[in-house]
Structure 1
Amino acid sequence: MKTNVRIQRNNLSINTVKIYMSAFVFIVFYGCSGKTDFIVTDSGLQYKVVKDGSGPIVENGQEVLIHETTKYTNDSIVYTSRNREEPLKILVGGNQVIKGVDEGLLGMKKGEIRKLIVPPSLSKRMGKVTFPHPDSTLLYDIELIGIVEKKIASEITNGNILKIDKENSTLRWEGFNKLHTSGHYGTVDFISGEFFKEKDRITGGEFIINMNTIANIDGGYSEMLVDHLKNSDFFDTEKFPVAKLSIVNIDYKDDSNALITADLTIRDVKQLVEFEASITYNDGKLSFISKFIIDRIRWNITYASGSIFDNLKDNLISDEIHFEVKLLTE
């Protein structure tokens, strides 16, 4: 009986030590840096700057080079990039890392080091990569090594710009009711469009869309539907007459297939989108073909959305808008 009591007391002591150790690590993470207070964002992310950087700040859509060390609150290491020869390259806002890191990188400057405390709601991994304990709070040390410079259109010579053939290029849209049992489809025209090329490969592009050319071509409720799409509760084309798609990254899978990351601006709201595309050359002309889906709520188009209005029932419209793009160059 005495032996059992001793064992229970020993176990209690060990557990108590573990609790104190975890608390100690958490306190050290919070307190042992030059700046004492964490900033808490609206999403629940906590961060503080422990070393200042210099230069331009990180924005959505930029590629950055970072080193990171990730830990659980008990100080066990989840991952570190410090043993790599090269830093990690991350597309900020491109769903390549957890949401907490995407947010934590915003506003950083070259050479800056930040500590992040990422709650479970912001620590879900994207794609197939998962943490062993997905509902854990994560602690990050992140150093910004640099921002990858991208060539802008004005820096690219005329020989490296391929303009689209507007007459033979098409942008088709399709929308549905909430259950996808019925819908409408149509087209919208380009004002201009061009691809940027380096060493015989497309590296970017920018395309301006005339939102006032929205047309319904399925024959159902055509004029009434188009009027509504142009109205202020949808695309509001009087106030926002153009949309823009800017390709910020192309990840080639092989010679003719690539993963495209782009900024899509609708109603003056810019959001990153990602989609696959086929890029081929026929008779000296480039052909770019893709299909992708957007969630209109991200661009503040909330009319008759089931995720916003629960009381509309049968009058709900799907949040998804499907696009099919076929671009040919001149």
Structure 2
Amino acid sequence: MKKSILSLALIGLLFFNSCKKEASTENTENTTDETVTETNYSGSYSVDTTFSIIDWEGFKPSGTHTGTITLKEGNFEVIEGKINDGLFVIDMTTITVTDINEKDGKTDLENHLKGLGEKESEDHFFNTSKFPTSTFKISSTTPEGDKYMVNGILTIKGIENEVHFPAKISISENEISLISDSFRIDRTKWGVNYASKSVFDDLKDKFVNDEIELTVKVKATK
């Protein structure tokens, strides 16, 4: 009798372990399928201008200035989970200075950057009356560790130059998030020459650094 009970208990234990292994295998297979599916999203995603922004920082001997620029529109084309193409239209008329207030000259600096002051100073920086938008067109994204190297053409004041920057990119069925590392561009490559020591040799300490630091944060939805 005891042997029979022991045999039944052993059979039950083996049956339970067998079911458990099958369930575990099934869960693993399902997880694998879901992972594959998540990397194969395709379609067109439109930039959400409410949540997309470019942070900038400029440098000079006496300190720095920081600010933001918003996007006017844009899109990504995704094929099997990879950005195949993309275009951002940058609204240069939205250049904002964030580190000083009105009392310290916030509006004056913003107008200077936009070229909205006197006629002779309109082309010192970005001349937004003539060039109200800039663009960045993505040519490729290359995996690098847990990030991507984003490669593309940045057009400012009608001048095109290649730009590369690392970014975290997340793609789901209905949304894309792209957040870049901070990176620097040389403004003089786009004809933004005001107070540049590489262009003018008599500035002493009254110069503005050629490099501008940028951080791009873009959200797009289907």
* TM-score past 0.5 threshold: yes
User: 2:176 aligned with 1:293, yes or no?
Assistant: no
Of Structure 1 and Structure 2, which has the larger fraction of its residues in helix? 2
User: 2:152 aligned with 1:271, yes or no?
Assistant: no
Bigger RCO of structures 1 and 2 (CA < 8 A, at least 6 apart): 2
Match of 2:88 among 198, 203, 207: 207
How high is the TM-score relative to the length of structure 1? 0.49
Superposed, 1:1-330 pairs within 5 Å as: 160-177=43-60, 179=61, 182-219=63-100, 220-231=104-115, 232-254=123-145, 256-281=146-171, 284-290=174-180, 291-330=182-221
Question: Unaligned 5+ residue runs, structure 1?
Answer: 1-158
Query: Following the alignment from structure 1 to structure 2, what is the Cα–Cα distance between the partners of residues 281 and 273?
Result: 22
* Percentage of identical aligned residues: 35
Amino acid in structure 1 at the alignment position of 2:151: T
8 A contact 2:45–2:175 mirrored in 1: no
Query: Following the alignment from structure 2 to structure 1, what is the Cα–Cα distance between the partners of residues 132 and 48?
Result: 21
Query: Following the alignment from structure 1 to structure 2, what is the Cα–Cα distance between the partners of residues 323 and 260?
Result: 14
Deviations 1:19-59 (A, max 9, x none): xxxxxxxxxxxxxxxxxxxxxxxxxxxxxxxxxxxxxxxxx
Query: Following the alignment from structure 2 to structure 1, what is the Cα–Cα distance between the partners of residues 171 and 160?
Result: 30
8 A contact 2:81–2:171 mirrored in 1: no
Indicate the residue corresponding to 2:9 in structure 1: none
Say what the alpha-carbon RMSD is for the aligned residues: 1.6
Indicate the residue corresponding to 1:36 in structure 2: none
Indicate the residue corresponding to 1:92 in structure 2: none
1:204 deviates by: 2.1
1:250 deviates by: 1.2
After the TM superposition, which parts of structure 1 deviate over 3 Å for at least 4 consecutive aligned residues? 281-284
Query: Following the alignment from structure 1 to structure 2, what is the Cα–Cα distance between the partners of residues 217 and 283?
Result: 35
Query: Following the alignment from structure 1 to structure 2, what is the Cα–Cα distance between the partners of residues 175 and 308?
Result: 17
Question: What secondary structure is seen at the aligned counterpart in 1 of 2:136?
Answer: strand
Number of aligned positions between the proteins: 169
Greater C-alpha radius of gyration? 2
Deviations 1:131-183 (A, max 9, x none): xxxxxxxxxxxxxxxxxxxxxxxxxxxx6111121111111111010x4x511
Deviations 1:298-318 (A, max 9, x none): 001111001111211121000
1:217 deviates by: 1.2
1:273 deviates by: 0.8
Change over 3 Å in CA distance of 1:283–1:249 after alignment to 2? closer
1:240 deviates by: 0.7
Amino acid in structure 2 at the alignment position of 1:277: A
How high is the TM-score relative to the length of structure 2? 0.72
Question: Unaligned 5+ residue runs, structure 2?
Answer: 1-41, 116-122
